[in-house]
Amino acid sequence: MKTTGDKRKSRSKVNSEAMESEAGPRFENNIEHVATAAYYKAEARGFSPGSELEDWLSAEVELSKGEGGSGRSNREISP
């Protein structure tokens, strides 16, 4: 017979597996979009060193607002 503790463990395992399966490809795809946008930002400034983090963070913000190259937000990117 399962105890309450066993039920909690099985629920948390199911929830974490569901989250991983839903978020995995989308997250990886999103990282690729951010990396590409950051690359183009670095290219536009001549790849001068010292602004890599700013490029990355700016790319994340633009993509989250739907201002990225494709005009789509993170939530609209399909795997």
What tokens were used for 48?
Answer: 């001068």
Residue 6: pLDDT above 80?
no
* Structural tokens at position 50: 């010292």
pLDDT band per the 50, 70, 90 thresholds, residue 77: very low
Q: What is the pTM of this model?
A: 0.53
Q: Which residue has the higher pLDDT, 6 or 40?
A: 40
Query: Which pLDDT score is estimated for 46?
Result: 97
Residue 47 confidence (pLDDT): 97
pLDDT exceeds 70 at position 75: no
